Structures are given as structure tokens and as C-alpha cells.
Amino acid sequence: MKIAVVREAPAGETRAALMPDSVRALVTSSLTVHVESGTGDASGASDADYVAAGAQIERDKSELLDSVDVLVCVNRPSDHDLARLHAGAVVIGFLRPLDEPDAMVQLIERDLTAFAMELIPRSTRAQSMDALSSMATIVGYKSVLLAAERLPRMFPLLMTAAGTIAPARVLVLGAGVAGLQAIATARRLGAVVEGYDVRAAAGEHIRSLGAKFLQVDLGGIQTEDAGGYAVELSDEALNRGRDLITKHAMTTDAIITSAQVPGKRAPLLVTEEAVAGMKPGSVIVDLAGSTGGNCAASESGETAVRNGVVIMSPLNLAATVPVHASQLYSRNITAFLKLLIDDKGEMKIDLSDDVVGPTCVLHQGEVVNGRVAAALETAAR
Ligand code: NAD
């Protein structure tokens, strides 16, 4: 069987879907790994590193795609690349089947089998494959460095001969994987940190990292679904949070926002009024830009300035840390591949498996995921 990895096409993408360590763990007498030349250039893995790990370097991408059985990727391959794959070939990566269901049509027409890494269940068994968490960890870390770099103050409390410097005050909104990593990173840099989330369990996590949990009284409403994700709140409930955030924003130097509700627009938490009340020089890093933003003044992918407050809304922050983002992603992909491939190096897709089944979007061109089928139906209307 032939597994292939090619250079990621989107502008600004630096990650590679498989790194040499993973290649070493995959190659056997019946399983070969083929790497397009230059795939690891931006993530610190040269062609020679891949060869040393047992991969074969390919210079002609089209030829490689014509004969591949499994194509692993970070981003969904272009329609042009997908068109070269043979019927029944397997594609694994962040395929965005729920955000962009229309894009699945090309895979359906080619009779491909597709697994979306964003659909890996957040279960204990699937932890080693949880690529969303891997990327969110990097994004949370990097968001704080962006804020620290832009802030005209230092983060730690310093007692110097010239007097004492007060620590920066950081507010983190949304305490999932990215938010908790942002809290931990800001604490390591010495900031005084507050965290806000609507899930009660997040309060414990925030406190355990040495931050203060900002709690809002939502009158005991359900804020979490059975899977542990936050649910969409009513405007009234959201307003209670916004009021609290507006008050705390006045004394905060940096706000990191990471609140998301799966499948919905990101909740608006930082209003224009809150931004107007912040001190000039303060910084907001909005990590929800791709789903509409948590801050009213955010411009997705851009940096805006309002009354001296800098509002950044970076997209694909994980790609700014390509070595570790690729390493983690590659390990997630490899752990998942090991569920699909048997000891003899043959593909055995068991859709009744509690990780393989939910992650599978298409099996030989058939839509097998209910959520994706519904998204496709809505898109077709
Ligand atoms: P996410 O990206 O979906 O959302 C980020 C955070 O935003 C969440 O903490 C959410 O509660 C919060 N949020 C949503 N609406 C909000 C609002 N109006 N105000 C404030 N905050 C709001 O989250 P995620 O990082 O993908 O994690 C989702 C869940 O999965 C969490 O419960 C997490 O603990 C869990 N998880 C479990 C595992 C595992 O067990 N293997 C791994 C990773 C995550």
C-alpha cells in the first residue's frame, strides 16, 4: 500500500502532514510512504531526513497522486489534486466537511473515502489522534506571545532599583484547549490572569492554572451539551457575560478570546463599548476570527486599531509554529492510520469502531456521516 504526503498548497501554510519520525513508524515491507520533494521545507524536515526515515521522495506530484492509496494532508487538497486520485483512494486531513459541505461533492464524484481530522471524537481513547487539541494548544500559546509582543508593557511584576513594575493583567475568554493554554502561557510570563467561560467545569480548570475565574450568574441554564461542548446561549444570557467582560476590560491590558460553539457563529463577547472602555495601548487577540469573531471590532485576518486599542484577529496561528505543529499533527495522523491499517499493512476500515466511524465522512463516495449529510442537504437547498 502506498501512503503519500504532498506540499500543502494554501498560501501561508507551513505545516507538513507527516514528519520523518512518523514515516519511520509507518514503513513496513508492505507499506511505503511517498513524499513530494520539499514537503517539509518549512517545518524543518529536509528530503534527506525523509529518505533516512524510509520514505521515497517524488518530484512529479501528478504521477504520485495517480498511484496513491492513502493521501494524508493538513488542508483539503485542491479539486485538481483530488481529480487525480483513483476511485476508492483514502484522503485524511482537516477537510472542513461541516463548514464547506459543497467541497465534498468532488470527493463524492471521485468515489473517494474521506476522514476529517476535525471529527475525531474528544474521547479518552482518541486523545492521541485529537488534532484539534494539538493545534489549539499551539494557537493558545502563540496568541499570548502576540499580545506580549504588541503590548507596550512587560508581563511580569518586576522590582528594580528604579522602582516596581506592576504585572500585566490578562483576560482570557473561553477556556477550552486554546484558552487554557493561553492562561498557562500568560501565567508563565508573570501576568495576573482572569478567565471566563460559561461551562462550570472550565471554572475548575481556570483556577487550577492559578487564574481567577470570572463567573456570571446565568440562572442555572444548560450551558453544555452531552459531549462537553458549550451550547449557543440566548441574547439575555450572553448580555450578562458581556456586561461582566465590559467591566473587567477597563482594567485589563490584554484580552485573548477563544470562545466557540461548534457549528455556530462564535459568540460575540467583547462589544464596541467594551473596546471603547479599554486603556489605549491595550491589546485584544481574537482567536475566533474564522467563525465570525468574539470581538465586535475584529476584522478577520487583520489588525485593527480603535482609540489606541489594538485588535488582532489572526488566522492559522498554528502555521506560525511549523515544527511543533507538524510534529503533533503528524503523530495524530499516524495514530489514526494505525486504526485503519492492519498488521499486514492492508487497509481495514471498520465503520463500527467508535473513532473510525464518527471520523469517516465518505466511504467510497457514499456519505456516511449524518451531520455531513444534513449539511450537504442544507447547502443544496
Ligand atoms: P471550543 O473550541 O469548542 O470552545 C472554546 C471554549 O469556548 C469552550 O471552553 C466553550 O465552553 C467556550 N465558550 C463557548 N461559548 C461561550 C460563551 N458564550 N462565553 C464564554 N465561553 C464560551 O472548545 P474545545 O477546546 O474544542 O473543547 C471543547 C470541549 O471538549 C471541552 O469541554 C473540553 O474540555 C473537551 N475536550 C475533551 C478532550 C478529551 O477528553 N479527550 C480533549 C479536548 C477537549
* pLDDT tens figures, 268-313: 999 999 999 999 999 999 999 999 999 999 999 999 999 999 999 9
229 is catalytic: yes
DSSP-derived secondary structure for 307-334: TTEEEE--S-GGGGSHHHHHHHHHHHHH
The single residue of 37, 229, 243, 364 carrying the catalytic annotation is 229
CB of residue 122 inside a 6 A radius of ligand 1: yes
Pocket test for ligand 1, best of 143, 197, 221, 317 (most atoms within 8 A of CB): 197
Provide the pLDDT for residue 345: 87
Ligand 1 in reach of 291 Cβ (< 6 A):
no
Residue to mutate (ligand 1; options 261, 269, 287; most atoms within 8 A of CB)? 261
Active site residue 130: yes
Would you say residue 29 has pLDDT above 90?
Answer: no
Asked whether residue 324 carries a pLDDT value surpassing 90, the answer given is: yes
Residue 368, C-alpha cell as written in the block: 456516511
CB atoms within 10 A of CB 2: 15
Residue nearest to atom 37 of ligand 1 (CA): 122
106 is catalytic: no
Total number of residues shown for the chain: 381
CA of 241 to the centre of ligand 1 (A): 16
CB neighbourhood size of 63 (10 A): 12
Kindly state the average pLDDT of the residues 115-135. 97
Predicted local distance difference test score (pLDDT) of residue 220: 87
d(C-alpha 65, C-alpha 46), whole Å: 21
CB distance 199 to ligand 1 below 6 Å: yes
- Angle at CA of residue 223, ends 205 and 354, nearest 5°: 75
Residue 367 scores a pLDDT above 90: yes
56 a catalytic residue: no
> Which member of 133, 260, 326, 327 is catalytic?
133
Q: Collapsing DSSP states into helix, strand and coil, what is residue 81?
A: helix
The answer to whether residue 69 scores a pLDDT higher than 90 is yes
C-alpha span between 190 and 240 (Å, rounded):
29
DSSP code of 214? E
Identity at 52, one-letter amino acid code: A
Q: How confident is the model at residue 379 (pLDDT cuts 50, 70, 90)?
A: confident
Q: Which of 15, 43, 110, 130 is catalytic?
A: 130
Percentage, residues of the chain above pLDDT 70 = 100
Helix (H) or strand (E) holding 15: none
- C-beta of residue 322 within 8 angstroms of C-beta of residue 43: yes
233 lines ligand 1 (CB under 6 A): yes
Q: Are 73 and 8 in contact (CB under 8 A)?
A: yes
The rounded Å distance from CA 196 to ligand 1 centre is 12
- 227 pLDDT exceeds 90? no
**Which one of 127, 128, 215, 234 is the catalytic residue?**
127
Q: What are phi and psi of 307, to 5 degrees?
A: 50, 40
Give the span between the Cα atoms of 216 and 59, in whole angstroms: 57
Give dist(CA 152, CA 182) in Å, integer. 19
| Residue 334 CA: distances (Å) to CA of 35, 214, 340, 344 | 15, 39, 10, 16
Q: Please indicate, yes or no, whether the overall pTM of this predicted structure exceeds 0.75.
A: yes
pLDDT tens track for 200-226: 899 999 999 999 999 998 888 999 998
- The reported pLDDT for the residue numbered 47 is 98
To the nearest whole percent, how much of the chain has pLDDT over 90? Answer: 94
Confidence of residue 262 (pLDDT cuts 50, 70, 90): confident
Rounded Cα distance between 216 and 203, Å, is 11
C-alpha cell at 364: 467510497
Average model confidence (pLDDT) across the chain: 96
Beta-bridge mates of residue 283:
254, 310
Does 122 qualify as catalytic in the annotation? yes
User: With bands split at pLDDT 50, 70 and 90, how would you rate the model's confidence at 344?
Assistant: confident
Distance CA 29, CA 344 (A): 9
| Residue 195 pLDDT | 98
